Structure 1
Amino acid sequence: MSSKGLNLQKSTKRKGSETSDKFDALKSKKPKLMMSGEQHGIPKFGKPKSAELNVDLSKKERRVQAKELTEARKKKRKPHYSLEQELASLWEKMRRRDIGKEERSKLISEAIRKMKGKIKEIAGSHVSSRVLQTCVKYCSQAEKDAVYSELKPHFLTLATNPYAVHLLTKMLDGLSKQQLAACISSLRGHVARFLRHTVGSIVVERAYDLGTAAQKQELLAELYSTELQLFKSLTSTTEKRVVDIIAKLGLQKGAVNRHMTAIVQPILEKGIVDHSITHKLLIEYLTITDKTSAADVIQQLKGPLLVRMVHTRDGSRLAMLCIKHGSAKERKKIIKEMKNHVQRMASDQFGSMVLACIFSIVDDTKLVTKFIVRELVPALKDLVLGKNGRRPLLQLLHPNSSRYLSQDDLASLDLSVPSLCSMDKSETSSQTKDSDGNESGEEAKDEQKDTDNEENVTVAVSKKDPLVRRQELLVNSGLAERLIDVCTENAEEFLMSNFGKEVMYEVAVGGSDGILCPSLSEKLCELYEAITSVAAKPKPEEPEKISEHILENFHSSRTIRRLVLDCPAFASILFKKALSGNCRSWAQGHCSKILSAFLETEDVQVREMAEKELQVLVNEGSLKIPAAKKPE
């Protein structure tokens, strides 16, 4: 054993009296040291008091002296401290809202003149970068070009600076096409590195949003393979999907997959998933990757990351793929993460499609009712009148209708991950055999199976019958009853709305397959009475009157015409209580289309009821019916 070890061993054995003696000795020496310091008026540690602060000065003078010392230290530490103080003073004046344009332009010109040659250092400063942002926002084009020429050589360095990033994004918004192209070209070879950086990814995203289709493809291409990153000529191909690029250029799919995996995994681990370029990258990655990697991506996105992605087209598609291919346990976690975000998602163009996808796929209707449907109920009126908010409601009332969903929306609902779709038919059939039984039992089995083997992610095959799922989500949850009440309370406003009329029509006819009619027929009659009471109001004598009658409005007249043709119960109530005896006064204008619908309907009872009064108008020529629409 070494001597050092022996000494250590001996020192550990020292106890009792030796330790206490040392402590007493040190304690006895302490006052002597203090006395020696106090004897000369100098503290043991630190500088003499007289060197730091003069005791004869007043409190105010001491504060002034301390401030001067602080300023002196800052000047030594910051080379442009005096300039920053001047710029801050100018900024306080130029950013005021009540300042004139000429005065502001003078202040901006003065600030840019002072910053000339030092813009790179100033752009990375916490205070001065704000001054430069204001200058770029309000300065002339010549001054913008001067700032751009000074920042361009340092674009990549500043792109990762937390203060300069705001200046760069604002500068990108005001660049010419040639300047923007130069900035995008300078990003070449650094896109993957920047996307893994919290600050740098913001600059790449702004350049991606502002770029043309070719420039976007140039930024994306280097994320696909090393060859596309090294050889710019290869990125000029017209193909946009990574599968087509591999086929045309003859790239190795395995190498492309490995390259994309090396880029995607750090991004997901760091949680930098708010940008549309990242969403596009993940969508393309899922089209070529193997089953294990695709399942891993879905596993990583099932948490709160997914809620942050639904605001873009590709982000919403990623969410749909995770819902479609996720297990029952993963779907449950995704839906729970949407709590308190449902109304915002429903009002979003792409987020509303994610809710529509959930209504179409997820079998656990109790879970969907608890976390999604209940959050939609308080905002039903706003959702009905909104362009995007009506989509989840219409998906329940009339699923996958091309009248309400665009071709792109329908294509999004049909998307799937190729590697996760390659299942044995026997496995799929074995899953669909268990479609009987109550809902809670099914989900319990799904969760138990996922707990036993969470790594096996299978293709989502909805076990429940679509009509039963809609019945549970729409009728059993109480959503339909509340929706009918809202439509009854706002019948006139909904019918005269460009978007509300569609929900109003679907509710009035009882939805597709008559899903509302059996159990809510009394509520629907109340809705028909509400529409009829509005339609029974007398026709306004002044045509210039601001409030238009419901039978003369462009949107409401066409919706009521459709209801007359497709809903005989409503047609009977409308004619008896609102139109009978008044048809002659309504035979012109938009309402004439409603009257002609009574003679075009296929329901014999409705046609016979209105034919006696309307045929007279037809014979006189007051009411015209197109020959192609006359009933046989």
Structure 2
Amino acid sequence: MDFFQELAEARKKKRKKHYTLEQELASLWEKMRVRDIKKEDRSKCYHLFVSNFLIRHVSEALKKMKGKIPEIASSHVSSRVLQTCVKHCTQDERNAVFTELRPHFISLVGNTYAVHLVTKMLDNASKEQLAEFNSSLHGHVASLLRQMVGSLVIEHAYSLGSATQKQALLMELYSPELQLFKDLVTMKETRLVDVIAKLQLQKSSVLRHMSSVLQPILEKGILDHSIVHRALMEYLTVADESSAADVIQHLSGSGLVRVIHTKDGSRLGSLCVKHGNAKERKKIIRGLKGHIDKIAHDRYGSMVLVCILSIVDDTKLISKIIIKELQGNLKELILDQNGRLLFLQLLHPNCPRYFSPDDLTYMSLSIPSIRNKATSFSLWNLWIFNCFYVNSEDDEAVQEDRNGEGKTSDASIHLNKGGKKDSFTRRQELLVNSGLAEKLIDVCHEMARELLRSKFGKEIIYEVATGGTDGILHPTLDEKLATLHEAIVSLAMQPKQADAEEEHILKQFNSSRTTRKLVLDCPAFALTPWEKALKGKCATWVKGHSSKVISAFLETSDSKIKELAKEELQPFVDSGLLRLPVADESIKK
């Protein structure tokens, strides 16, 4: 070692209290990190040797650190040694480390290096230790959430905690009283409006406190955490119009991508789309550019895209960014549980067969202060109309309405939920004019066998083959739809083989039910499979899942198809081989 190295070492020893110990720990850490293990050496005996070797060095390192762990935890190197020790040590040793760190949790949470050790401790903590850690955070949640480092630990504790522990962390963000008095946060009420009513808090005081907490978080862009998303959602339930608009403005843009991966974050994104102005909506859509495929596959992110497709009138911008990226990965998306929802919303909007009740409720969410303003505005317009534009012939009817219950009908109140464009026109521009529908038909034609058999893909091919609700694909794409029908029929025409690897399209569970629905709901399709695949061969298909397809020809509302099938199928009905779900008197006769 030359003179300058010795001088540097001497200065480090003076500057760092535990420099020598850190050097020893670094040396031990290198021995703990086992690397470059060859395949032939990965035997049971070798792993046993490595395990014993590791435990010995972990125990040695912990003995050297005992009594100095809080100070060492803030060091760049030593904190990593501690993380390795906590991961591989015994439970008793881990408990000893937790006990030593307990009085210093708050200071460690804000440290760039110690934060990783704290999260590692939480991952391995018992229920009692996790509760004790959450208790130590009381009074500090709001201040830590405003820090880039501290917010990571709050989010980690929030994600690991029970419902009660999550609520306790969240309620500190609501008011100064809840932040100061620990006993108040043990309430059963979870919604902010209920907490305000229960404790008789001043709404203005709650709004001021939450604004002081959330404003710096929004300005710093600390948007990834689910606890922040939940707090913002609760804030919007009590915020006035101006405060709500301020939140929407902060979230509109590229930052929204970091929000919509959680349930509450997704709802925030949808509210921004629903209540944002045209400029903010454009910023949101442009901010999603390059992330559409990933968002479409996400359980919660996909619902924000569904909301955009259902509300935003700027179909050119949507086609240029969202539809274009969706077209690039159609084959994968239509088979995905979440990705398919975007296309189903365009083909059959808000269908309870595809969207859960929770999803449909989610799509009708709105911010109370903005909703109430829209209602008040509509009532004001109605009053103006009654005062100045109702002619004398209508006065009696108006007076009768006033003398009645004194309530305005729901039909008279129009809430602006976003788009002014007609829903059918918007869907047509996004689906047909953009070229998406044509590509969907081509993909369905190419993947007909796979889609019919798929749990999720069958819904796409059904909606496309029927032309979508309101006949949105007719008559523009009738010729291409006819080729899709032919592709499905060609699969049904294939002979039944007992030794085939895959079940026949009429026998497989998903495909048989999809074909049945097409026969019942799409007369343009039903005639082709009967004439080309089933006529004269029904005896082969009257048992098993295929019987549901056969019976559909007798249940269809199309009298022409029913008459064609009746002569051949009647004997099977009479003999009991073919059972109809609903008795049809005309068939029995």
Q: Do they fold alike, i.e. is TM over 0.5?
A: yes
**What's the counterpart of residue 89 of structure 1?**
27
What letter corresponds to residue 608 of structure 1 in structure 2?
E
Deviation at 1:626, TM superposition (A): 3.1
2:517 maps to 562
* 2:139–2:172 Cα contact (<8 Å) kept: yes
Question: What is residue 394 of structure 2 aligned with on the other side?
Answer: none
8 Å CA contact 2:452–2:511 kept in 1: the answer is yes
Letter in 2 for 1:422: N
Give, as a single letter, the amino acid of the residue that structure 1 aligns with 2:26.
Answer: A
How many percent of aligned residue pairs carry the same amino acid?
60
Correspondence for 2:187:
237
- Structure 2 CA distance for partners of 1:367 and 1:267, relative to 1, 3 Å: same
Q: 1:122 to 1:537 in 2, by over 3 A?
A: farther
Structure 2 distance, partners of 1:76, 1:547, is 76
The answer to whether structure 1 residue 481 and structure 2 residue 481 are counterparts is: no
Separation of aligned partners in 2, 1:405 and 1:226: 40
The equivalences for 1:399-418 within 5 A come to 399-418=349-368
Q: Residue 599 of structure 1 contacts residue 630 of structure 1 at CA under 8 Å; is this kept in 2?
A: no
Q: Distance in 2 between matches of 1:75 and 1:324?
A: 61
**Residue type of the alignment partner of 1:298:** I
Change (3 A) 1:629 1:339: farther
Aligned counterparts, 1:507-522, within 5 A: 507-522=464-479
Displacement of 1:424: 5.8
Instruction: State which structure, 1 or 2, has the greater radius of gyration over its C-alpha atoms.
Output: 1
Q: Do 2:255 and 2:287's aligned partners in 1 also have CA atoms closer than 8 Å? A: no
Q: What are the residue-to-residue correspondences of 1:101-250 with 2, within 5 Å?
A: 101-250=51-200
Residue 525, structure 1, aligned to residue 503, structure 2: no
Q: Find 2:10's aligned residue among 72, 76, 86.
A: 72
Q: Which amino acid aligns with 2:545?
A: H
Specify every segment of 5 or more residues in structure 1 that has no aligned partner in the other structure, as ranges: 1-62, 433-457
Question: 2: CA distance between counterparts of 1:631 and 1:351?
Answer: 50
Mapped partners of 1:431, 1:629: distance in 2? 53
Matched residue type, 1:472 = E
Q: Go from structure 1 to structure 2 and tell me whether the alpha carbon gap of 1:154 and 1:489 turns closer, same or farther (over 3 Å shift).
A: same
Residue 459 of structure 1 and its aligned partner are, at CA, apart by 5.3
* Residue ranges of structure 2 left out of the alignment (5+ in a row): 38-46, 383-414
For the Cα contact (< 8 Å) 1:120–1:154, is it kept in 2?
A: yes
CA apart distance, 1:430: 11
For 2:452 and 2:65, the matched residues in 1 are separated by 60
Q: Aligned-pair distance for 1:93?
A: 3.3
Q: Secondary structure at the match of 1:518?
A: coil
Q: How many Å apart are 1:114 and its aligned residue? A: 2.4
SS at match of 2:328: helix
* Per-residue CA distance 1:144-172 (angstroms, 9 max, x = gap): 21221121111111101111111111211
SS of residue paired to 1:610: helix
Distance 2:586 2:348 in 1: 27
Report how many aligned residue pairs link the two structures: 543
Structure 2 distance, partners of 1:548, 1:101, is: 50
Amino acid at match of 2:296: A
**Amino acid across the alignment from 2:579:** K
Q: Answer yes or no: is 1:615 the counterpart of 2:553.
A: no
Distance 1:575 1:231 in 2: 75
* Greater displacement, 153-162 / 75-84: 75-84
* Matched residue, 1:503: 460
The 1:291/1:79 distance shift into structure 2, 3 A limit, reads same
- Choose from 215, 224, 229 the match for 1:279: 229
Letter in 2 for 1:75: K
Shift of 1:546: 3.8
Distance change in 2, residues 1:540/1:64 (3 Å): farther
3-state SS, counterpart of residue 422 of structure 1: helix
Distance 1:531 1:219, change over 3 A: same
TM-score (normalised: structure 2)? 0.88
Shift of 1:395: 1.0
Counterpart among 336, 357, 364 of residue 307 in structure 2:
357
Asked if the contact 2:293/2:325 (under 8 Å) is kept, the reply is yes
Query: 1-side partners of 2:307 and 2:584: how far apart?
Result: 38
Could you tell me how far apart the structure 1 residues matched to 2:125 and 2:352 are?
41
- Map Cα deviations across residues 165-210 of structure 1 (whole Å, 9 max, x no partner): 1111121111111110111111110000001010000000011111
**2:528 is the counterpart of 1:576:** no
**Which shifted more, 96-105 or 354-363?**
96-105
> SS at the partner of 1:421?
helix
- Could you give the per-residue CA deviations for residues 193-240 of structure 1, whole angstroms, max 9, x where no partner exists? 001010000000011111111111111111111122222332222221
Summarize the Cα distance change of 1:400–1:318 in structure 2 as closer, same or farther, 3 Å threshold: same
1:150, 1:119 → 2: CA distance? Answer: 7
Distance 2:196 2:143 in 1: 23
CA offset at residue 397 of structure 1?
1.0
Task: Give the equivalent residue in structure 2 for 1:441.
Answer: none
Q: Aligned with 2:496: secondary structure? A: coil
Structure 1 residues 484, 82: CA separation in 2 closer, same or farther (over 3 Å shift)? same
Displacement of 1:574 after TM fit? 1.6
Q: Deviations over 1:446-478 (max 9, x none)?
A: xxxxxxxxxxxx955421110111011111111
Given that 2:55 and 2:89 are in contact with CA atoms closer than 8 Å, whether structure 1 keeps it comes out as yes
Q: Do the aligned partners of 1:560 and 1:594 also contact (CA within 8 Å) in 2?
A: yes
| Farther-moved stretch of structure 1 (175-184 vs 564-573) | 564-573
Residue among 416, 421, 436 paired with 1:464: 421
Please say which of residues 392-401 and 94-103 is displaced more in the overlay. 94-103
Greater alpha carbon shift after TM alignment, 580-589 vs 147-156: 580-589
Aligned 8 A contact 1:119 1:150 in 2: yes
The 1-side partners of 2:261 and 2:243 are apart by 24
Aligned pairs for 1:320-469 (under 5 A) are: 320-423=270-373, 460-469=417-426
Q: 2:496 maps to what in 1?
A: 539
Letter in structure 2 aligned against 1:465 = D
517 and 138 in structure 1: CA distance in 2 versus 1, 3 angstrom threshold: farther
TM-score normalized with structure 1 length:
0.82
